[in-house]
Amino acid sequence: MATKIDIISGFLGAGKTTLIKKLLKEAYADEQVVLIENEFGEIGIDGGFLKEAGIQIREMNSGCICCSLVGDFGTSLKEVVDKYHPDRILIEPSGVGKLSDVIKAVQGVQGDVDIVLNSYTTVVDAKKCKMYMRNFGEFFNNQVEYAGAIIMSRTDIIDEKKAQQAMELLRGINAKAAIITTPIEKLDGKKILEVMEKPVSLEEELMSEEEVCPECGHVHEHGEHHHHDHDHDHECGCGHDHEEHEHHHHDHDHECGCGHDHEEHEHHHHDHDHECGCGHDHHDHHHHHADEVFTSWGRETIKKYTREGLEKMLEALSASEDYGIILRAKGMLPAEDGTWIYFDMVPEETEIREGAPEYTGRLCVIGSKLKEDKLAELFGLA
């Protein structure tokens, strides 16, 4: 049986790891699963948390799984399949990766390796969705637009109105995905996986009632029919033949988000297919690689911290832009009292907990226009 590939995408701190842990426990318990992580920061931090769950983890920290690294990624995927023959490979792209690039990379090796793209899901922080769309739309929106299913995180802590607003924003750029709005801790992992694998939105459910497939003339089951549609959409963004491109152009304009009109868009495709083939509009001056926009700063350290001290440092990070635009910080550090402090921070939300001793202390900050000297000073590591 071909190894199933589940892609779990989502912006920095969205809740990808939280979801993966839940799926491992509740939905993948009887399967052999390998996780491929592509972290943006230089220091692998998540690995530590997930190793406790006892699954195989392969980290790809050398760069993004994107246009330039498709080869490495393919090799990595092949090695994992040959070595472990897993039932499933979970791919957790970096929080600033473009989902379309990852889908394309998987599809690119599908012919050589016995894998099948099974699901492509995006976790969205419902609390920050609006802000991310506005400030980092180029990366954030792509993850939403290409998702088969969208899981809204933090619907447990925001009010209904805000959740509704976030949902509408997401629906505005992805008309088809199933959007999970129920807090995930209320749902069984199996149920979540079911939605990820057969993401049927209400709209499709209603529409497909009596719908006859225009291609084969049959009435399909909901899920079946839906998958059919989705496959087409995604193929369209990923370097498949031109006829199909044109055929689906209507959808594609939306997916691209480039703001150009249809004709112009088509033009770009002709011109730029050669350069990269990833279906992006490279002519657009707003196209960036993640490392042009986001930077990370990380340190290994033996310095000991206190919870109170660390809390203040993390508060200072989001209180101003003195340290740059901070989007994410995490780490595990030795405490003065001999315990270990693990922390997870997204602006205005900090989680500090006790964890198992690590071989050394590590911390990582991700953001835009980071001021490294100031950060080193703040954490007492200058």
One-letter amino acid for residue 158 of the chain: I
Contact between residue 117 and residue 103 where contact means Cβ atoms under 8 Å apart: yes
Tokens found for residue 191: 């149920």
Q: How far is the CB of 13 from ligand GTP (least distance, A)?
A: 4
In terms of CB distance, is 184 or 200 closer to ligand GTP? 184
Comparison of 120 and 279: residue with beta carbon closer to ligand GTP: 120
Cβ of residue 1: shortest distance to ligand GTP, in angstroms?
A: 28
- The position carrying tokens 């693990």 is 342
The token pair at 308 is 């109170």
Q: Which residue's CB is nearer to ligand GTP, number 81 or number 343?
A: 343
Q: What is the DSSP string of 87-106?
A: SEEEEE--TTS-HHHHHHHH
Q: Give Cα 52 to chain centroid, integer Å.
A: 22
CB nearer to ligand GTP: pick between 240 and 307: 307
Closest distance of CB 18 from ligand GTP, Å: 3
The footprint of ligand GTP (CB under 6 A) covers 10, 12-18, 46, 95, 153-154, 156-157, 183-184, 328, 344, 346, 351
Token pair belonging to 376: 């080193």
Minimum separation from the CB atom of position 39 to ligand GTP (A) = 7
Tokens of 340: 């270990």
Q: Return the sign of the alpha-carbon dihedral for residues 216, 219, 221, 225.
A: positive
Our CB check for ligand GTP shows the closer of 25 and 247 to be 25
CB-nearer residue toward ligand GTP: 10 or 324: 10
Point out the residue whose Cβ comes nearest to ligand GTP. Answer: 15
Smallest separation, CB 118 to ligand GTP (Å): 20
Shortest Cβ 351–ligand GTP spacing (Å): 4
**Strand, coil or helix: what is 309?**
helix
Buried residues in 123-159 as b, exposed as e (16+ CB within 10 A): bbbbbbbeebbeebebbbbbbbbbbbbbbbbbbeebe
**Best CA proximity match to 43, nearest among 301, 221, 216, 226:** 301
